[in-house]
Structures are given as C-alpha cells and as structure tokens.
Chains A and B, each alone.
Chain A
Amino acid sequence: MNRGLWDRETVALMLLAAYMPIALFWLVYGGTGALARLGIAVLILAVWNIAFMLARAQPPSFAALIMALAVAMLAPEDLGVFHLLLGISFGAVMGELVFGGWGRNVVNPATVALSFLGFGFPGFAWPGFDDPVIWAAIPAAVIGIATGVMPVAVLASAFAVGCAVVVTGVPLPENVLQIAGLVLVLIVADPVTSAATTLGRWLNGLLYAGLVLLFALQWGGAAPVQIAVAAALLASLATPLFDEMAVSLWIAQRRSRHGRN
C-alpha cells in the first residue's frame, strides 16, 4: 500500500540532516577531543537504547544521535567518562526512555542530562564556541524550517526577542545571545518537546528568550551555555500549559463563531 514519509524516523533523520552544519563545524574546530566526546555519548546512548529495546520492545531512534550531539557539544568541559556516563544515562533514561522513547518524552533528554551535569558537577567549566559553530545554527534552522521539522513560530518569536534586545542595546554578558541561539536550534526547537500549537509555539519561544534575558541580567557568574540550558529546561516544562491555553482559546473562538464545537 502507499505510504508517506513522515514517520518518526524520517523526522529524526531530517533533524539530523539539519544539524549537520553545526556538527561539522564543531568537529572541525573541536578536533579529536570533540570527536571523542561525541563517540562516548553515542556509545552510552546506543547501550541504553538497545537495553530498552530488549527489555521493553521499544525500537531505538536516530534521535539518540541528536541527543548525543547536543550533550557532547554543550556538556561542561573536562568531565571524565564516568561523569558523562552518569549524566547521559540519567538524561536518556529518565528524560526519554522510561516514557516510551523519542516522541513520547515530555522534556528534551539532552536538557535533562545537561542540567544534571550542571547541578551535579558545578566545578567544571561550561564550554564556549567558535563563531563558525554558532553561525552554523542559521543554516541548521533554515533546513529545519524548510523541511517542516522545526517549529517556525518558536524560532521566530525567540529571534524577534533577540533582535529587540540588540536594537534596544540591553547590556548582556558576552556571547549570551549567540549561544542562546545555538541552544534554541539544538534543543528548544525539538518538535517533540516544544509546543505543538501555533500560539503555544510563539509563547514557547518568547518564554525561552525571556528567561535567557532574565538569567543573563540577574544570574551573576553564570556561563552563557548554563543560562541557555536552564532557560530551555524551564521553557520546555511550560509548553504543555501553553498548548492547553492555545487549545482552550481555539475552542472558545470556535464556539463563539459557530455556537457549537
């Protein structure tokens, strides 16, 4: 029988294709160290995915590679293998696999893993990025939007806030906006854990950008990646509320127009 393309794995592969520019630039500038971190992350996630496949008949997803990339890029530097193993395992298992795998998770597992690593091992420094890696987020977002796998409204609303900040000249610590943009594309624009309604997506992007702004101004000594990851975590927790609001509003508008649903 005829079948369309947009099943879970196609979406995961499209997202992976969108993230290729970021991954390539990061690997080129990060060298063997970056490659080793990525390899470790992929290996840990492969083991957990196979474990859940065998234990719960839960098919693995290519989305694990996206999580591996996000964690390898954004995790605090100089963490040993054991720390990475703990953080990635916690994020993958508690953030995604226990819910039934990618597509059924509530928060992005990479955000959970990064938050765990940040809170658990505060002595390690958060990474910085070379400019080409940050600029590579633009083609990644373009590919994601063009293929329809990234929510346009989330990206657009957060970008609009970023533009407003630049125009009004709000004094922010160095690199916060750039790295917030990278995290926006890598983590916040995940189609599963971002809001699923148009209004919800606008609010989702606005909240993320607003939290980044708040943390940047009020959280003394926080690293840009730390600020962005914390904002992403809190914003993703609020997305079900945004969707609920958007759906309620849609139902109310429809009822007022037609007198019934």
Chain B
Amino acid sequence: MPARMFGSGLAPRFPSPPADASDPILVITQEAGVRTPIGQTLRITPLVQQGEVVHQGAPVACLRDEPSVQFVAPMPGRVARIALHPGRKLSEIVLFHEASGDIVQHDHLAATTEPKLRHLMQAAGLWPWLRRRPFGGMPPAKERPAAIVVMAIDTRPFAPDPRQALMGRKDSFARGLQALTLLADGPVFVCQQAGPPLFDSADRVHMVECGARHPQGSAGIRVHALAPATIEAPVWDIHAEDVAALGDLLAVGVLPTTRLVRVAGAGLRDSRLIRTQSGADLRELTQRAALPGAHMLISGSPLDGHVAHWLAPRHRQVTVLPSPRPGSPKHWFIAALTQSALPKPVIPTAALTQAFGAALPAAPFIRALSAGDDEMAMKLGVLSLLEEDIGLADYVLGGEAHLADLLRGMLDRIRKEFAT
C-alpha cells in the first residue's frame, strides 16, 4: 500500500489534560471486582463465602468445567458480594480491601515442565491474562497455541508505554518469555517499538518492530501479520507486563497483581499514571480528578473501551468522558434526511485503509463483514481479529457501521458452525 512509506496507521487525538510526568503512584482501591475476561461468560464454582477474608492471590472461584483454572483475589480483602447470572455464570465477585491481609505464596520451584508451569499459572490466577484467537477470551486449560504474541507496544490513545512498565524488570521479562516457549508449539513474538530489544536473544523468541501509529500496536493486527490464527491453529497474545509478572511468579512464587494504568480523558482535571490492581474500582480511581458534572467511566481506551465499574482483567487504561447531553428530538423530516433503517454504506477511503494499518484489503473485509460472508472473512483473516482491533475503523467511520457488533456476531456464528 502506498501509505506504507509514511508508516501505516492513524494517530487519532482525543482531548485530555496533559499527563503528569512524575513516577506512577500506587493506588489500591478499597473495593475491587473479579470478573471474567471480556467477551466470555464462564460457568464458575465459587471457592469462598460472602464475608470470608481472603489473602492476596487466594482463589475465589474456579471454572466449573476446568477447576484448575482459578480466579484469585487481586488484593487482601473480605468477600463482599458474589453475583452470578443464571447457569452459575460469573457476574462479579466484589472484595473489600483488608490492609492486614497476607499474600499467597506458590510453589514456584517445581514449575520446570510444561504441565507444572500450566498448573502454576492457572492456580496463581495468571491464566485469564492470556487471550486466545480466534474468538477471544482466555484459552482452554490444555490448549497449545501455534504461536504466542507478546505485546510490548500499545498504540491506542492514552495507553501507557509497556516499556515503562518493564523498567528494571528485564530479568523477569526474559524469564517469563522463556516460560512461554514451553507452552507453545511455535515461536514467541515480542512486538515492540523501534529501539534496543527488551530481552536478550533466546531460542524461539523473536523481536518484531512495529510502527508507532494505531493499530500497529494492536494485538490482532500483529497476529494477523505474524501468525494468523485459525480454528486448528489458535494463537495467544499477552501483554509484556504480564509476562514480567509471570517471570516474578517463577522467581519468588508471588504473582504481582498491580499494573501500570493510565487514567485520562476529557472528563478529568488531571491525567495521571498509576499502579493499581486488576479489577480496581474506577470511581475511586477518578473521584478527585473528575470534572464536575455527569461523566462516563470507561475501562479501556476511548476507541475500544466500555462503560464499567471495575477495571477489566486485561485493561491498562481508564478513560473518563463527559456524558452526552440528551438533545431535543429531531423533526421527522430532519430525522428522515439524516437517519436510515439500514446502516449507511461504508465508502472506501484512505482513512479506512489506514484504520486497518494497511494490513488487509479493508473494503472487501468490511463488505464480507456486513454481508455475513463468513468464508470470505475467514480467508481475509477475521479469525485473528477481535473487537478491539477494529475499534479504530469503527471510530473512523463515525460509529455508524457497527463493525464491532458485526464482528462479534460473525465470530460467534463461525464458532457455532465451524468450530464445534
């Protein structure tokens, strides 16, 4: 594509107060919610009772069908509420922070073989931090991926720089990478910005340089380019900071549960970088920094985030946006001029091509998505993509194409028709 000479992708700008340049501060919220990874509804077995006190890292629930995969407490606390949907599907487990709590120590020395490493990762609560493609969500307990893509770059607006999260943790990162090679049949790719490699060379671990514009740092676009996911050959991706956490777990037996998170958006007085736990309470993270008036708390970036109460399991961004003001209803003639029953068609432009990072034929892909042409979409690489990867395209098209909904519908249909 011609735009490659300038570096493909786009750099959408969103209003936000300037970032505080100081080092990230540690913020442990008084409440935290344990949830399933985005896009998955999982049947679980609670392992704790309401009111029970748990240590940091203690299991609070496990999968009903694969009990070895556990969800753990991100902080020492008291179980405040266990909310399940019908069918024993996890809605949320809410914890109140208990400052005097302890930390669970795992037997890390035994994790020298693949089965023992899997068991350690699943018991320590690290498994939900992995994500598989196709279809998304965490991988089944015994799955072996064709490749693992480690994202040490994040090009979404307001995303914290993974290199900052890895500062001083080179050994942990290298240990984590080495462990990941045990889990995969194929290579482990580390995607990072141009610059010195973040790890010393290792067998089956490859460094991949990516452009600085979005979606070059999007995991789906990288998977699509490096090791396309198929139903027979799933590919996992994991954030580089989580790989370093795996390295720490293997070194000392304790899984770090805090992560580097950027809080930004037009609804804030100050934008800041913090370290907080997975499942942190978004209201508490933003309560002193938010501007007066109604606003939306979004877990994730302005492109692909969702309104939430808790920081989602893999998210490292909190976006605060002013709530849209309800307008007066349009006159019927104006509404007829501007609205339609069918979604408006997508016009192929350079912006659309760049919204996919020039990684695939954008217009044929959108047509396949809109028409429900599953087979063509699979040939074009839909199995490597998830909603967050096409968030930029959805944004660029003004939100009228509803690509994320179309993609989820198609992936669910493919899973039903081809993968079972």
Interface residues of A (CB under 8 A from B): 1-8, 10-11, 53-54, 57-60, 100-104, 148-149, 151-153, 191-192, 196-198, 243, 246-247, 250-251, 254, 258, 260-261
Contacts and interface: CB of A to CB of B under 8 A. Distances in A.
B344 A7 contact: yes
Contact of B336 (A1, A59, A148, A250): A59
Interface stretch (B28-36, B165-173, B391-399): B391-399
B2 A153 contact: yes
Contacts of A4: 12, 351, 395-399
A196 B364 CA distance: 7
Nearest to A60: B337
B114 interface: no
A2 B264 CA distance: 14
Contact of A261 (B337, B345, B379, B399): B379
The listed residue with most A CB atoms (<10 A of its CB), out of B340, B345, B362, B378, is B345
A237 B346 CA distance: 20
Given A6-B397, A149-B349, A196-B361, 15 more contacts: A1-B324, A4-B395, A4-B396, A10-B398, A57-B341, A102-B345, A148-B349, A153-B2, A247-B380, A250-B361, A251-B379, A251-B380, A258-B227, A258-B228, A261-B381
Nearest to A148: B350
Nearest to A103: B345
Contacts of B342: 100
Interface of B: 1-2, 12, 14, 227-228, 230, 233, 302-303, 321, 324, 336-342, 344-352, 360-364, 378-381, 383, 395-400
22 contacts: A1-B324, A1-B399, A3-B395, A3-B399, A4-B12, A4-B399, A6-B396, A7-B400, A53-B337, A57-B341, A59-B336, A59-B337, A148-B349, A152-B2, A191-B349, A192-B348, A196-B363, A196-B364, A197-B363, A251-B380, A261-B379, A261-B383
Nearest to B364: A247
4 closest pairs, A vs B, by CB? A103-B345, A148-B350, A196-B363, A7-B398
Contacts, number: 113
Nearest to B400: A7
Contacts of A151: 348
Contacts of B383: 261
Contacts of A1: 321, 324, 399
Contacts of B302: 2
A25 B364 CA distance: 37
A3 B400 CA distance: 9
A96 to B, nearest CB: 11
Contact of B347 (A60, A152, A191, A260): A191
A59 B349 CA distance: 21
A114 B352 CA distance: 30
Contacts of A246: 361
Main secondary structure of the interface of B (DSSP, over half): loop
A153 B398 CA distance: 25
Contact of B352 (A6, A251, A254): A6
Contacts of B2: 152-153, 198
Contacts of A60: 337
Given A148-B349, A149-B349, A191-B348, A261 B380 contact: yes
B57 to A, nearest CB: 36
Given A6-B352, A103-B345, A261-B380, A53 B395 contact: no
Contacts of A5: 351, 396, 398
A8 B344 contact: yes
Nearest to A258: B228
Contacts of B399: 1, 3-4
A101 B338 CA distance: 13
A2 B324 CA distance: 10
A197 B364 contact: yes
B127 to A, nearest CB: 26
Contacts of B378: 261
A103 B14 contact: no
Contacts of A254: 228, 381
A2 B321 contact: yes
A258 B2 CA distance: 23
Nearest to A153: B2
B132 to A, nearest CB: 16
Nearest to B324: A1
Given A2-B321, A191-B347, A191-B349, A260 B228 contact: yes
A250 B303 CA distance: 28
A159 B302 CA distance: 41
Contacts of A53: 336-337
Contact of A8 (B12, B339, B345): B345
Contacts of B352: 6
Nearest to B265: A2
A59 B340 contact: yes
Contacts of B346: 8, 103
A243 B381 CA distance: 17
A196 B337 CA distance: 27
Contacts of A149: 347, 349-350
Contacts of A58: 340
A191 B363 CA distance: 11
B339 A2 contact: no
Contacts of B381: 254, 261
Contacts of A153: 2
B347 A11 contact: yes
